[in-house]
Chains A and B, each alone.
Chain A
Amino acid sequence: MSRMNRRAFLKTLGLSTAAGLGWRNMAFADASDTQNIVIVIFLRGACDFLNLFPPVSGADRNLYETARPNLKIPLGQVLPLDGQFGAHPAAAPLKTLFDNNQLAIVRAVGNTVQPSRSHFDAQTLLESGTPGTKGTSTGWLARYFSTIPNLPPSITIPSVAASSYTPTSFLGDPSVLTMDDPEYFSLDNAHWGWDERMAAVLPTLHTGDSPLEQATSQAITAMQIIGSQDFTGYVPGGGAVYPNGYFGDQLKMLAQIIKMNVGLRTGTLDFGGWDTHNDQGNGATGYFADNLVTPLANGLQAFLTDLGASGNYLHRTTVIVQTEFGRRVRENADYGTDHGYGADILISGDASQIVGGFHGSWPGLASNQLFEGMDVAVTTDYRRVLSEILIRRLENPYLGAIFPGYTGYSPLGVVQGTDLDPIYDNPSDEIFSDGFED
C-alpha cells in the first residue's frame, strides 16, 4: 500500500479495517474487463514525420535529399519498412511493431477545414473536434465519453489525463482524473494526529453547486481512489522496460490504471518538445533521435508489451499518436525545420486489430504537390481516422455529436472491426430538444 495507508483511507470512509466492505482487495464495483480503451498520445510542438518515416525510393527520395541537405536521414541508416518509406534509425521498436502488424501509419493527415501553422490554434482545433471553430467549450474525447451507450451507473476512473493539466480534448468532462505523479497525490502529509480527520472533513467543505466546487469535489474523489491503490513496486508485464523520463513514467502509469480494472475508457498523454526549429540532428543521434524518437518508440513498444503480457488488456486497447501539424519540407539554416502542414497519425495495438502498414494517400514532395509550395499536403481529414477508431474499435457511431458538422465518413481500413452506420445528428442541435427530454 502506498503512503496514504489503508488504515487511514478506510477510516476516511468511515469503515474499519475489520469490517471492510470489499476494500481489502481494492476491487471496485465496476471491475469491468470488457470495455474498449483508447489512449491518445499527443506529440506537442509538431512532429517531423518526414524524418521519422523518410522516403527511401523514387523521385521523393531525391526531392527529400535536396530539401534537407543537412537533416536528411542517410539511406544507409534508414530502417526498411515497405520500400517506399523507411523508419528513423532510432525508431527500431516502431519497425518491429510495423513488421508485427501492430502499427498503422496514416500519412498526410490534418485539418482540412481551417489549416493553421499556429501550434496553439492547430492543437485547439484538432482537440476540440471542431476543426473550423476555436470557441468550442468541450473536447472530442469528452463528447465521445458522453455518447457512450449503456454506461454503468458508476465508473471509478473512466478517463485519465496523464498530465498536470486538462487537455482540450477532455474539456467539459468532469469525470476526467488528471494526474501525473500518484506518489504525491495525497494529503497524508498533514500532522499525523489529524490527517485522517482532515480527510474526513475536507469533502464536506466542497458540497456547493459552483463549477469550482464541482471540480474540487471531483479532485477529492480522485485522491480517495488513487490513495486506495498501490502504485509503488509495479512490475510491468512481459519484461517491458519503459524509457526513463516523463513520457515513460506516464505511459507506465496508464498501463497500471488499465490493469486496475477501474473502468478506464480513455487516456491522454502529452509528450512535449517536438518543436525542432534548430539543431534537431540528422541520424541515429541528436536531439530528435535521443530526446524524442527513442522514448516514443521504446515507450510505445513497452506499453504494448506490458498490456499484452496478461489478460485481455491489449486486445481492448487502441493507441493513437497524433501531433498538431507536420514540419516544413525544406530545412532551415539552423539545422531545424519550421512549421508545416500534413502530418501522420499512428494507430497501434493488438496485431489482430490493427491493419499494419502505411495508409492514406501520399501527396508527393514535388513543389507542385506541396501545400503552398512548402509543406506536405493533407489528403486525409484527421476526423476520418479518429472516426474509424470510434466506430470499429469503440463501437460508437455518434459522429455528429463528437465531430459536429463532419459528414461523408468512410473507413480507410486502418483497424479491424464492425462498421456501424454513422449518426450525424448532433444531440445539442435544437431539433433534438424534442423527444430527448424524458
Chain B
Amino acid sequence: MDSPIHNTDRRAFLKFSGSAGVGLAAYSNLSTAAAVESAGWQPAMYRANPLRSAASTLTPLPPLAAMTLNRAAFGVAPGDIEDFNARGASDLARLTSWVDEQLDPQSIDDSDLESRLANPAFRTLNKSLTQLWIDHYRPENITWEERVRPAWEILYATMTRAIYSKRQLHEVMVDFWHNHFNVYAYETPNASVWVHYDRDVIRPHAFGNFRQMLEANAKSTAMLYYLDNVDSSDEGPNENYARELLELHTLGAENYLGIMNQWDVPKDSQGRPIGYVDGDVLEVARCFTGWTVANGHWSDPSDPDTGEFYYRDFWHDRFQKYVLGEFIPADQAALQDGLRVLDKLAEHPGTANYICRKLIRRLITDEPPESLVASTAAVFHANWQAPDQIAQTVRHILLSPEFRTTWGAKMKRPFETLMGAMRVCGAEITLNPDDNDSESLTWLMEKTGHLPFSWIPPNGFPDTRTTWQGSTPVIMTWHIINWLMQITDAGGHFKLDVLNQTLNAPELADPANHTPRKLAAFWFERSLGYPPDASQIAKAAEMLTHSDEYTGTPWGLDEPIDLSQDEWPHYWQSGLRTLVALILMSPDFLQR
C-alpha cells in the first residue's frame, strides 16, 4: 500500500504535528508574477509541490510604539507614534506612561469624540432603560427601524469611538467584554434596549471589578432574554443561562469536567471543587429562577413592565441547593443564592485562569504562554474584590516582557483592520443610522463575518488567526478598503482624503519627492507606525508605474508623479488612493 501522505508533504506533515500528534502538511501556492506568466500556469488552491517554503514563525519586532498601538488600540492615528515616543527615555518607561494614562480614561480629553457623538442622529444614547423599553419595544405601531434603532446607534457609536476616541485601550476592552458576555443585538427586545447593555452593563466595568460586572450582566435585560433566564421558574427551570454562566462567563469550558457526579469532583487545597459538572449547571439554574425582567407578565399583577431587572419571588425555587461543593440552605433571602453563586464563581482560581488566558489571547498572542497566564491570574485572583481589578490585570499583561517580545502572533480581524484603516487615513467620516454610507458599510461588513454584535451563539467572535485567515474575511475586508477609499461627502470631498494628507506632509512638501517609492514609503510608515522592508516598499511602488490605461514606457520608481491632476491616461490622484488601499491590504498591516 502506498504511504498515506504525498511524498513532498511528508516532512512538513511530521514537522507540523499538532498537540494531539495529528499534523498536516503545510503546503501553499504562490501567485508570483513569474509563475503567473509562465505558460500554462493556472491558479489552484492545492499544489503538491509548494512554490514556497514552510511557514516561518519568526517575525522581526517592530518598534514598541507600533506594537502597542496595533494591539492595545485600534491602530495608528496621525500623531500617535510621536505621542508615544515622547513619553520617556526607555521603551518600558514610554509603555508604562501610555498604559497608565489609558487605564485612567477620565484623565484623557475626549472632546473631539464627544462632539461627534453629539450629532442629533444619535437620539437614543441618553435614554434610560425604561425609556428605551417604552419608546422602542412596547409600542405596537412603530416601524422595525425604530424598534431596533438603539442597536444601530450603538453600532455606529462603537465604530466612531474606535476611530476617534483617545481612550483607545478602554474601547479595546469594551470590545473584549462585549464578546466575553456576547449577546446578539439585532433582534428584539435586545435591540430596543441595546443602549442600556452597552452603556450601563459593559462600559462602566470594562476596567473595573469582574464580580460587579458579572452581577450587572446577570441582571441585564439583554442577557436575561438572550439566554432565556427571563422565563426560568421553579416549575420550569431553563438551564441555558446557568450553563453559559459557568462555561463562557466564568470558569470556562477548560474547567468543565463533563458528565461526573458532583461529589466525585476533586477539591483543591482550599476545598474548592477544581471544576464544574452538569449537576452544578442544573443547581445553578435553580439558584437563578425568578431572576427576570419586569415585562408585564400575565401571571404577576405587581409586575411594573419597565423593562428593568425584576425578581419574582414566587418563581424562585426556594429549596436547598448544592453548588460547587457548597450546600445553600432552603429559604434564602431574595436573590441571595444567586449572588452566592456569583461570589463563588468570581473568586474561583479557575475563573481567573480562564479570563486571563482570554485577555492575553486578545492582547498578545493566539497561544498564551502558561507562565504569563499564571502570573496574570494571580493578579486577577488576589484582587477579586478590588474596584480596579481588571485595570490591574490588563496592566500586568501590557507591561509583561511577553508583550514587548511577541509580534505577529495574531492577525487583525476585519473590524480592527477597517477601523485601523480609517484611523491611519485620518478619516473624516460621520457614521450614524441616518447616513447612506454608514448603511453600506454595515451591509458590507456583515459579509466579512465581523459586524459588531452580530455573532449569534453566546461564545462571542473567535479570536484566533486560524479562524479569520480564510478567504472570505480577507477578501471582503479588502473589498471594503477599496470602497472606503472612494466615498465622498456631499461636497465631493473624499472621506479618506489621502491626497491632501500627502500634500500637507512636510517630508512631501517638495513635489520632487512625489515619486512612487517615496509615496509608498510615506504611506507604509503612516499605516504601520514604522517602515517595512525596503523591498516591500518597492513592490507597492511598482503599482504606480502605469495605470490600466497607460501603455507608454513605465514610470520610474524614483520619477515624481503629478499629483495635481487625475486625467487620462495616468489618473495620478486615483493612483495614489489605490496605492494607499494596496498598502492597507499588505500582510504587514494585518499583523498584530
Residue on A with the closest CB to B20? A136
- Does residue B217 face the partner (Cβ distance < 8 Å to A)? no
**Distance in Å from the Cβ of A114 to the closest Cβ of chain B?**
6
Interface: B108 (CB within 8 A)? no
> Is A147's CB under 8 angstroms from B5's CB?
yes
Binds B, one of A59-67, A96-104, A153-161: A153-161
Q: A118-B243, A118-B253, A166-B469 are in contact. Are A201 and B539 (CB under 8 A)?
A: yes
* Contact residues, A137-186 vs B (CB, 8 A): 137-138, 142-143, 146-147, 149-159, 161, 163-166, 171-181, 184-186
Interface stretch (choices B63-71, B232-240, B385-393, B502-510): B232-240
B54 at the interface (CB under 8 A from A): yes
Contact status A338-B44, CB under 8 Å: no
Q: Which residue of A lies closest to B449 (CB)?
A: A164
- Report B-chain residues with C-beta under 8 Å of the C-beta of A428: 13-14, 17-18, 21-23
Taking CB atoms and an 8 Å cut-off, the chain B residues in 547-570 that contact chain A are 547-549, 568
**Majority SS of interface residues in chain B?**
loop
Find out whether the CB atom of A165 lies under 8 angstroms from the CB atom of B468: yes
B587 and A176 contacting across the interface, CB-CB below 8 Å: no
In the complex, chain B residues whose CB is within 8 Å of the CB of A130: 20, 22
Query: Which A residue sits closest to B7, measured CB to CB?
Result: A438
Most A CB within 10 A of own CB, among B238, B444, B485: B238
Chain A residues, Cβ within 8 Å of B258: 114-116
- The one of B32, B232, B482 in contact with A187, judged by C-beta atoms closer than 8 angstroms, is B482
Contact (Cβ within 8 A) B24 A198: no
CA distance A410 to B39 in the complex (A): 48
Interface residues of B in 244-265 (CB under 8 A from A): 247-248, 253, 256, 258-259
Docked pose: A164 CA to B476 CA in angstroms: 10
Contacts of B16 in A (CB 8 A): 172
Task: Indicate if A412 sits at the interface (CB-CB under 8 A).
Answer: no
Asked whether, in the complex, the Cβ of A30 is within 8 Å of the Cβ of B457, the reply is no
Chain A 390-402 near chain B by CB (<8 Å), digits 1 or 0: 0000000010010
Judge whether A215 and B25 touch: CB under 8 Å: no
Contact code string A200-223 (vs B, CB < 8 Å = 1, else 0): 111111111111111111111111
- A332 to B2 Cα, complex, angstroms: 54
| Contact A438 B10, CB 8 Å, known A177-B45, A212-B408, A222-B45 | yes
Chain A residues with CB under 8 A of B501: none
Q: How many Å from the CB of B291 to the closest CB on chain A? A: 15
Q: Which residue of B lies closest to A222 (CB)?
A: B471
Q: How far is the CA of A429 from the CA of B405 in the complex (A)?
A: 33
Contacts of A150 in B (CB 8 A): 2
Contact, CB under 8 Å: A156 / B43: yes
Contact of A207 among B11, B30, B485 (CB under 8 A): B30
**Which B residues between 213 and 250 are near A, CB-CB below 8 angstroms?**
228, 231-233, 235-240, 243, 247-248
Q: Which residues of A contact B473 (CB under 8 A)?
A: 164-165, 178
B128 within 8 Å of A (CB atoms)? no
A-B CB contacts (within 8 Å), total count: 376
Q: Assess whether B587 is in contact with A180, with CB atoms less than 8 Å apart.
A: no
Give the complex CA separation of A146 and B236 in angstroms.
49
**Which of A184, A193, A278, A401 is B476 in contact with, Cβ under 8 Å?**
A184
Write out the residue numbers on chain A whose beta carbons fall within 8 Å of the beta carbon of B96. Answer: none
Is A14 part of the binding interface, using a Cβ–Cβ cutoff of 8 Å? yes
A309 in the interface (beta carbon within 8 A): no
How far apart are B537's CB and chain A's nearest CB, in angstroms? 10
Instruction: Tell me the minimal C-beta distance from B138 to chain A in angstroms.
Output: 20
The listed residue (A134, A205, A222, A426) touching B475 by CB distance below 8 A is A222
Question: How many angstroms between the C-alpha atoms of A341 and B483 in the bound complex?
Answer: 47
B120 within 8 A of A: no
* Any B CB within 8 A of the CB of A248: no
Once the chains bind, are B470 and A427 in contact (CB under 8 Å)? no
Query: Given contacts A151-B46, A176-B45, is CB(A338)–CB(B240) below 8 Å?
Result: yes
Q: How would residues 157 to 199 of chain B score, 1 for a CB under 8 Å from any chain A CB and 0 otherwise? A: 0000000000000000000000000000000000000000000
- Rounded to whole Å, the gap between the CB of B411 and the closest CB of chain A is 6
Residues of A within 8 A of B4 (CB): 147, 149, 398, 401, 423, 427
For the complex with contacts A13-B36, A177-B45, 7 further pairs of A-B residues with Cβ separation under 8 Å are A120-B248, A130-B22, A154-B46, A197-B578, A209-B52, A433-B14, A438-B10
- Could you list some 30 contacts between A and B, CB below 8 A? A13-B36, A44-B457, A118-B247, A118-B253, A120-B248, A130-B22, A138-B18, A150-B2, A151-B48, A153-B47, A156-B42, A158-B45, A165-B470, A177-B471, A184-B476, A191-B485, A210-B587, A211-B55, A211-B57, A211-B465, A211-B469, A212-B587, A214-B55, A215-B465, A216-B587, A219-B474, A338-B239, A339-B239, A401-B4, A428-B23
User: Which residues of A pack against B, CB within 8 Å?
Assistant: 11-14, 21-22, 28-30, 44-45, 114-121, 128-130, 133-138, 142-143, 146-147, 149-159, 161, 163-166, 171-181, 184-187, 189-198, 200-225, 228, 263, 272-273, 275, 277-278, 332-334, 336, 338-339, 372, 398, 401, 404, 423, 426-429, 432-433, 436-438
Q: Which 10 A-B pairs have the closest CB atoms?
A: A333-B236, A164-B449, A137-B18, A178-B470, A215-B469, A175-B46, A222-B471, A219-B474, A193-B571, A219-B471
